[in-house]
Amino acid sequence: MKRLNCEQIKNHLPHRYPFLLVDRVLEYEVRDHLIAIKNVTINEPFFLGHFPENAIMPGVLIIESMAQAAALLGEVSMVDKPSEDALYYLVGVDNVRFKKPVVPGDQLRIEVHFEKERRNIWKFHATSSVDGKTVSSAELLTTITAPKA
């Protein structure tokens, strides 16, 4: 079983606080699946405005955490490693569902399953859960490209 801690995750993703939304990878299998966690704390900057009297993690950030986990699975699955200045892009989100809110104190468990790769577009199915109950799911499309000089 392969794992990644926060420092190792930062070696694979360009995101940094406050926008790195994956704290740990519990396990992954190349070109198959990845399980990650995001610890949701009251100190998250988005809770100041979403919503001050009823703190709820924004759905778009739940999608972003799933997209970051998908990018991690894609990157660790690549045979030819990309250049250090390469960037991952989320290029599609389909069939998104939100089933319950995520609040401070929750631990978001993100499961990503590789579906296919075609012409540098990777397709994943992702779900996130809290305490074993699904809170959201989506199909994600990602790609990786080197920035233009």
Q: Which residues are catalytic?
A: 50
Total number of residues shown for the chain: 149
Handedness of CA 55, 56, 58, 62 (dihedral sign): positive
Residue 45: phi, psi to the nearest 5?
Answer: -60, -30
Omega before residue 46 within 30° of 0, cis: no
